[in-house]
Amino acid sequence: MEPIRVVVYGASGKMGREIINTLCREPEMKVVGAVDREATDESCLPLPDEWEAIPFSSDLDYILTSCQPDVLVDFTIAKATMLAVRLAIKRGVNLVIGTTGLTTDELSEIDQLVKAHQVGAVVAPNFALGAVLMMHLARVAAKYLDYAEIIERHHQLKADAPSGTALSTARAMAIARGKPFSRPPERGKTLPSRGEQVEGITIHSVRLPGLLAHQEVILGGAGQTLSIRHDTISRECYMPGIILAIKEVIKRQGLVYGLDTLLGLQEE
C-alpha cells in the first residue's frame, strides 16, 4: 500500500518539529512537504535521518500544488488555520487540525466546506489519548457525585487561563449530568482565591516554569472524593492521537471534532 502523503503546516514550531520526527518513523506515512512562516522561497527541510530533504516554503498553496499530499496537518495559530482550510479543501486535501482557539463559527465553516468538497477533517483541541480519557471518565463520574473542582496546571508561557481543556471538561460534565454542580456555601471573604466558576465547578489555574500541561478533576460526595488526573510529560503524548487521526481522516468525509469518536468513546 502506498504511504499516506503528509504536509506539515507550522513545521518549525514545537509541535511541527515533533510531528515531522514522529511521522518519519511511521512506515505507513511519508512527509512530503513542510510550511512555516520562516521558510525562504525554494528552501528544503532536512529530515531527521539527514538522508532526505523535503520542500519547505512559506507558500502553502505552492507546497500543496507541488507535493500533492493526502493530508495537511496544521499546528499553527487560528488565524492561519482558516486560510489553510480554504486552500486545502479546494485541492481535495484532507485536514488534521490541532491548532487551538478556533471559534464556533470557524468550526461550522470548516464543517460546511469539507462537506461541500467531500474531504475529511479531524479537529481536536487535545490529541493526548490520556487527556481524552480523563475528560471521558470525568463525564461518566459527573452523574454520580454532586460537587467538583478542577485544578489545571500549565507552563508559565500559556496565554489563556483557564485552559480550553478545563473549560470544555467543566461544560461537558454539566451536560452529562443535565444540570450544574452544587457549590458549597461561601464562608467568609475567600472568593478571589477560589478561581473561575463554570457550571458550578471551580477551576483553579496554576502557571509555573517546570510544568507542561496537567489537569486533575476532583469530585466530592459525602465522606469521599474521586480524583481523575492526567499529566503531560512531553509532547510525545500527542503523537499516537495525531497518527490515528491521519489514518482515519482519509477514510471519512466531513468533520470529526475531538478524538472521542475515533477512539469509540462516543457514537458518531
Closest approach, Cβ 142 to ligand NAP, in A, equals: 23
Question: CA-CA distance, 69 to 92, in Å (whole number)?
Answer: 9
Residues with active-site annotation: 154, 158
**3-class SS of residue 107:** helix
Q: How far is CA 246 from CA 3, 49, 200, 243, in A?
A: 11, 22, 37, 5
SS3 content of the chain, % helix, strand, coil (to 5): 35, 30, 40
- Whose Cβ is closer to ligand NAP: residue 4's or residue 8's? 8
Residue 72: enclosing H or E segment and its boundaries?
A: strand 71-74
- Whose Cβ is closer to ligand NAP: residue 124's or residue 255's? 124
Question: CA-CA distance, 59 to 203, in Å (whole number)?
Answer: 41
**Which grid coordinates are listed for 30?**
511519508
Question: CA-CA distance, 130 to 122, in Å (whole number)?
Answer: 18
93 binds ligand NAP, rule: CB under 6 A: no
194 binds ligand NAP, rule: CB under 6 A: no
- Whose Cβ is closer to ligand NAP: residue 165's or residue 202's? 165
- Whose Cβ is closer to ligand NAP: residue 69's or residue 125's? 125
Contact track, ligand NAP, 1-30, x by CB under 6 A: ---------x-xxxxx--------------
- Whose Cβ is closer to ligand NAP: residue 100's or residue 202's? 100
Using CB under 6 A, which of 22, 76, 163, 215 touches ligand NAP?
76
Residues 26-55 that bind ligand NAP (CB under 6 A): 35-38
Specify which residues 203 forms β-bridges with.
150, 196
Q: Are 52 and 76 in contact (CB under 8 A)?
A: no
Question: CA-CA distance, 216 to 153, in Å (whole number)?
Answer: 9
57 binds ligand NAP, rule: CB under 6 A: no
**Maximum pairwise Cα distance, the chain:** 67
Using CB under 6 A, which of 80, 110, 138, 170 touches ligand NAP?
80
**Which grid coordinates are listed for 219?**
469530585
200 binds ligand NAP, rule: CB under 6 A: no
Stretch that binds ligand NAP, among 25-33, 119-127, 136-144, 223-231 (CB under 6 A): 119-127
How many chain residues touch ligand NAP (CB under 6 A)?
Answer: 22
Q: Which residues bind ligand NAP (CB under 6 A)?
A: 10, 12-16, 35-38, 75-77, 80, 98-100, 124-127, 238
